[in-house]
Structure 1
C-alpha cells in the first residue's frame, strides 16, 4: 500500500477512534479540505503536518506508520461490536482496509459487522462486497455456521437488489448447509426465511409455501423475533397466493406475538407489512391500513432508519392514492425522489407503479400505461416473476378503466 494511502487510512482510524470530527482534528493549523485529502490518500503529509496531527491526537508519530497487527483490528472489532449505534463502524472499515494477513476468523467478524452497518445505511453495493468476502472466508475455513450465515445474508442482500437467480442459488445452498450440519434453529430458521422470500420473488410459490410451513412448525414453541418473522413470511406467501384472509390471520399472529420493547424496529416493520397488505387488498382496506401506518410512524420516529422512513412514506403515498388524495400522493412521491431512494428493488418498482397510476389519473394516460408496460417487462426480464404478474394485473385493470374526460 502506498505511503500516502496507508497514512490516510491510519489517520482516519485514529481520528474516529478518538471520536473527533475532521474539523475538530484540523484545528486552526490546517483546513478540513486538506485533512480530507490526507485521509483519502490524495495528498502526502509533510513532516510538520505529521507532527501537528500526532500532537492533536496525543500519539507518537510512529502510530501513523506502525505495521497493522491483529491487535489493532481486534481492538477495532471490539469497539464496533460493543458500541450502541454505528459509532465504531467507520473506524473498523478503515482498519480492515489497511490490514493484511489477519486471522481469517477476525476478518470474518469484522466483515460481518461492517455488512450490518452498510445495511442500516442502505449502502447495498458496499454491503454486498463485505458479504461476498465474508462468504469466501467462511468457505476457506469450512465452518458450517459461518458458511450458512454468510450465504443467508448475501442471498437476502441480492434479493433486495432484485438479483433473484443469484439469490436463489445462495439461499438454497445456505439451507442445505444448515440441514446437513444440524445447525441450531436460529441459523436454520434464518436460512429458511431467506429461502422463502427468494422463492416467492421468483414465483415459486408452492416451494415457498412448503418451506414456510416447515419454518412456522419449527419455531412454534418460541416467542421471539424469529417466530414473528416466520409468521410474517407465512402471511406474505399466503397473500401472493391470493389467500388474503389467511394472510391477515398470520400477520395478526405475528404482531400479537412480539412486544414492542423486545424489538421496536421489527414491531414497526410488522405494522408496515400489515398496512401494505391492507392497501393492496381488493378492495383496499384503507381504515385498517391507516391505523397500522399511524402506529408504525410513531415507533419509527424514535427508532427508524432512513430506509424505514422511506418505506413508511411510500405506503402513505399509496394510501393517499387509494383515498383519492392525488395531490398528497404526488407530494409524497416528489419528497421521496428528493431524499434519494434506498428502497429495495420490489419497493422501488412498486413506487414506479404508483407513479404510473398517478400519471393515468392526472390525465397522462398513455404515458402512465407505457410506463407500466415497461415495468412489467423489466421485472419479467429480471426473473422477478411474482412482481411481474402483479404489474401485469395492475396494467390490465388500468386498461379496463374508462379514460378520464376533461
Structure 2
C-alpha cells in the first residue's frame, strides 16, 4: 500500500499530466493550501477528498495506488484520533480544516472523540464569523452529547447552541435550550463555570425575548454565583447584568455594572475579551437616553487600539458599526454614512441584532438625508421582522425609534406652520 508521501507525488503527477493548476484541481471543495499539503505529503487525505480529487482528475480512485482511506487504523490509532490530537495541540487553522474533513467520514468513531472534534470545529467556525456552519456543527454536537447522556457535555452543547441560535435571531428555540442547559447544570451539580455559562446564555435569550424581569433575576443570580470566580466569567456576568439594566432603562445600574466589569479584567489576561467588553460598553452607552457619547468614544478608542493587534473580522465589523452609530448620535451624519458604506455587506458576520440595528441606522440616515417616506417604511418593516422573530426587545426598540421620528416630523411641521 502507498503511504501519504507517494500519494502526494502521484497526485501531483496526475495534475501536471492534465495541465491543471492547483487552484483548478482544488475547485470549490478544498483550499489550494490543503491541496499543496497533500502533494507535499504533509497531510493525509480523507476518503471524501480522495473521491473528490479522483473525480476532478477523471480517474478511478485506484489511480492513487490503493491508498488506505482515512479512518482505517494504521500505527497511531484512528484517523479521527490522530487528526484531533494535532488540531487540539496547534493554534493554527490548518489542522482544524483537516479535522473537518475527517469528521465528515468518521460517523462510526468513538462518540466522545467525535464530540471533542465537533467542539473544536464549532469554535473554529465561530472565530471566523461563519454562523451557518457553526450552527450546523453545534446541532450535531448536541445530538452526540444526548447520545452519550453525560450532563456536562449536554449542558455545554445546549449552551453553545442556544448562543448561536440567539445570534442568528432564533430567540424562541435559543430560550428553550438555554433553560434546558441551566436546569441540567443545577440538577446535576455541575461546576460554577458550566452553570455560569448556561446562565449567561439564558439571561441573553430572556432579554431578547422581552422577558426582562426574568432576565434581571437570573442576572443577579449569575453575578452572585461567579463572585470570586474566574475574572473572565465574572466580567461577562457583569456585562450581561449591565445589558439587562440598559434595556430596563436603569442607566445608573448600567454604569455600576460596566465599571465593575472593566475593572475585573486585565487586558493582559484576556485581550480579546477586554476589547469585546469595551465594544459592548460603547454600545450600551450609545443606547442610553440621552446617548453618552463621550463615554462611548473613550471605549471605542480603547477597543480600536487593541483590535489593531488582535481583532477578528467580526470585531472589526462591530467596531466600524459602532463608530457609525457614534457619528450619528453626535450629529455627524456624513461621517455616519461614510462608516456605514465602508462595510462589506456581501460578507457581514454580525449577529442578527447588530444587523437589524445597522439597518435601523441606515433608515434613520435616509430620513436625515431627505428620504423620509422610505426611511420610515423601512423602520416599520424592521420592527415587524423583529416581532416575527420573537425578538420582542429589539422590536420595541425599533418601534420607539419610529415613534420618535414621527414626533420630530410633527414638531417640525408645527414649527413650519408658525
TM-score, normalised to structure 2, is 0.85
Unaligned runs of 5+ in 2: 31-48
Partner of 1:31: 21
Match for residue 125 of structure 1? 132
Give 1:395's aligned residue: 402
1:328 paired residue among 327, 331, 335 = 335
Q: Taking structure 1 as reference, are residues 27 and 254 closer, same or farther at Cα in structure 2, changes over 3 Å only?
A: farther
Q: Is 1:294–2:298 an aligned residue pair?
A: no
CA distance in 2, matches of 1:370, 1:204: 28
Q: Is the 8 A contact 1:239 1:247 kept in 2?
A: yes
Structure 1 residue 197 and structure 2 residue 204: aligned?
Answer: yes
SS at match of 2:409: coil
Q: Provide Cα deviations, 1:332-365, integer angstroms capped at 9, x if missing partner.
A: 1112144621100000000000000000000001
Q: Identify if the C-alpha distance between structure 1 residues 144 and 46 changes in structure 2 by more than 3 Å, giving closer, same or farther.
A: same
Q: For residue 84 of structure 1, report the CA deviation from its aligned partner.
A: 1.2
2:200 and 2:60 mapped to 1: Cα distance? 56
Shift in alpha-carbon separation, 1:164–1:73, aligned structure 2, 3 A:
same
2:38 aligned residue: none
**Alpha-carbon deviation of 1:65?**
3.5
Q: What value does the CA root-mean-square deviation take over the aligned residues? A: 2.7
2:175/2:202 contact within 8 Å kept: yes
Query: Gapped runs of 5+ residues in structure 1?
Result: 1-9, 16-21, 55-60
The verdict on how the C-alpha distance between 1:26 and 1:286 changes in structure 2, with shifts beyond 3 A counting, is farther
1:65-144 mapped onto 2 (5 Å cutoff): 65=69, 67-69=71-73, 71-144=78-151
Go from structure 1 to structure 2 and tell me whether the alpha carbon gap of 1:46 and 1:341 turns closer, same or farther (over 3 Å shift): closer
**Alpha carbons 2:71, 2:79 under 8 Å: kept:** no
- The residue matched to 2:88 in structure 1 has which SS? helix
Give TM-score, length-normalised by structure 1: 0.88
Within 2, Cα distance between the matches of 1:370 and 1:380? Answer: 16
2:289 counterpart residue number: 282
Relative to structure 1, the CA distance from residue 371 to residue 217 in structure 2 (aligned partners, 3 Å threshold; closer, same or farther) is same
Structure 2 residue 154 is the aligned partner of structure 1 residue 147 = yes
Equivalent residues of 1:223, 1:258 under 8 A apart = no
Kept in 1, the 8 Å contact 2:71–2:78? The answer is no
Counterparts in 2 of 1:148-187, with a 5 A limit? 148-187=155-194
Contact conserved, 1:68 with 1:100, CA < 8 A, in 2?
Answer: no
Tell me which residue corresponds to 2:42.
none
C-alpha distance 134-338 of structure 1, shift in aligned 2 (>3 A):
closer
Indicate conservation of the 8 Å contact 1:223/1:257, yes or no.
no
Taking the TM superposition and a 5 Å limit, the aligned residue runs for 1:169-318 are 169-318=176-325
- Find the residue that maps to 2:78 and give its secondary structure: helix
Q: Secondary structure at the match of 1:99?
A: coil
Matching residue of 1:346: 353
Distance (whole Å) between structure 2 residues aligned to residue 34 and residue 378 of structure 1: 42
Answer with 264-273 or 327-336: which moved more. 327-336
What is the CA distance between 1:194 and its match in structure 2? 0.3
| Alignment CA distance shift 1:385-1:361 (3 Å) | same
Change (3 A) 1:49 1:132: closer
Sort the Cα spacing of 1:402 and 1:150 in 2 relative to 1 into closer, same or farther, 3 A: same
| Alignment partners' CA distance in 1, 2:66 and 2:213 | 62
How far 1:402 moved relative to its partner? Answer: 3.1
Q: CA deviation at 1:223?
A: 4.3
Alignment length (residue pairs): 381
Provide closer, same or farther for how the CA distance between residues 64 and 26 of structure 1 changes in structure 2, counting only shifts above 3 A: farther
Q: Could you tell me how far 1:322 is from its partner in structure 2?
A: 1.3
